[in-house]
Structure 1
Amino acid sequence: MDLVIGRVVKAHGIRGEVVVDIRTDDPELRFATGTTLRGRLARGAGDKEFTVTAARPHAGRLLLSLAQVSDRAGADALRGTLFLIDAADVSSADDPDEFYDHELEGVPVTTVAGAEVGVVESVLHLPGGELLAVRTPDGREVLIPFVREIVPTVSTEVIVIDPPDGLLDEVS
């Protein structure tokens, strides 16, 4: 299973730099100069390896220079590329409040009152925040905002939610 550590948002400048949304707690290690990154190209074009030649913070994101990209056209072609690592290479066991997406997939979800909601299918990372995609026993998908106010308890055994009115209502 793969974990996303970053996503190319756009090209920056004319020398082939790319702007990357960071999806890792350790960008200094994952995007260090000399590191080889596995990139999953957008639109199903497969995976390709890239070597980081420079990395610097920029407006809450990261600017990367890659050995394989030398101009703006090459950087533009990488828009949407996901940088990935193998899930087997990481564990969140050191911090009880940190979880990787793959550790939450398949975990049952209940309400604070004990009602069964379903099972986590995936964690979605969207510009507005993270969502838990939960499959209910009747086969519906419910998207639950992954914020402490709605998801007060998270473990790899069970996720407990305190849903606001209407969140779990069926759509007619």
Structure 2
Amino acid sequence: MQLVVARIGRAHGIKGEVTVEVRTDEPELRLGPGAVLATDPAATGPLTIESGRVHSGRLLLRFEGVRDRTGAEALRNTLLIAEVDPAELPEEEDEFYDHQLIDLDVVLADGTEIGRITEISHLPSQDLFIVERPDGSEVMIPFVEEIVTAIDLEEQRAVIDPPPGLIDESEAVVASSRDEEQAGEQADGTPKGEGS
């Protein structure tokens, strides 16, 4: 099974290093020296990680054969893909791989459907579920114990207990009325029917 574990950002310095946007809970395992990763677009890879270090809170990687800024910049926006055994599980009982969580139904404790997890965003402070609502809109739900009360892989669902305002319909109403107000303005920012 293939998993996207990172996206290459801009070049760093002049010796071939690149910044990466990490998309795995286990960067030390998936993005360590010697790791060979497939790429998207495929023509770019495979890439072998030569070294890695953290600089100002960002992971920097250097790949074998990439020695200068030009080569590093050519890799920008490339997705790094690792081969993972589907049966492989994280060491900790309450940890999950992204591929286990993607497509889970998100419901409230009473069974009310909220949506479906389409992406996991790994931020420095916490992970976020990107959840697609039935109407096509998206909501971000922090993957923390206080909010995500249960992950049931057999039932393919995540049970949440959101604080007020996180997914309230009233927010969608406010957003849509704001959009209508903006649509009622001319390109120069003046309400329709006003101006010269």
The TM tier, using the shorter chain, reads 0.7 to 0.9
**Are 2:141 and 1:145 aligned?**
yes
For the structure 1 residues 160 and 38, does the alpha-carbon distance in structure 2 shift closer, same or farther, using more than 3 Å as the test?
same
**Are 2:11 and 1:14 aligned?**
no
- Match for residue 48 of structure 1 among 45, 58, 63: 45
Contact kept? 1:121, 1:135, Cα under 8 Å: no
**Are 2:97 and 1:100 aligned?**
yes
Aligned-partner Cα distance in 2 for 1:90–1:9: 31
Give the alignment of 1:51-90 within 5 angstroms: 51-88=48-85
* Counterpart amino acid of residue 120 in structure 1: R
Deviations 1:55-112 (A, max 9, x none): 2232233222212322111111222222111343563254331112221233232213
Which has the higher mean CA deviation after the structures are superposed, 11-20 or 80-89? 80-89
Contact kept? 1:6, 1:82, Cα under 8 Å: yes
- Residue equivalent to 1:130: 128
For the structure 1 residues 140 and 53, does the alpha-carbon distance in structure 2 shift closer, same or farther, using more than 3 Å as the test?
closer
SS of the residue aligned with 1:95? coil
Cα drift, residue 164 of structure 1 = 3.2
Cα drift, residue 11 of structure 1 = 0.8
Aligned-partner Cα distance in 2 for 1:93–1:70: 34
The higher radius of gyration belongs to 2
Return the TM-score normalized by structure 1.
0.76
- Structure with bigger helix share is 2
* Counterpart amino acid of residue 29 in structure 2: L
Q: Which runs of 5+ in 2 are unaligned?
A: 177-196
* Counterpart amino acid of residue 7 in structure 2: R
- Structure with bigger strand share is 1
For the structure 1 residues 142 and 14, does the alpha-carbon distance in structure 2 shift closer, same or farther, using more than 3 Å as the test?
closer
Cα drift, residue 17 of structure 1 = 1.0
- Residue equivalent to 2:2: 2
Q: Which runs of 5+ in 1 are unaligned?
A: none
Return the TM-score normalized by structure 2.
0.68
Contact kept? 2:15, 2:68, Cα under 8 Å: yes
Contact kept? 2:25, 2:97, Cα under 8 Å: no
CA RMSD, aligned part only?
A: 2.8
Cα drift, residue 49 of structure 1 = 0.8
Cα drift, residue 127 of structure 1 = 5.6
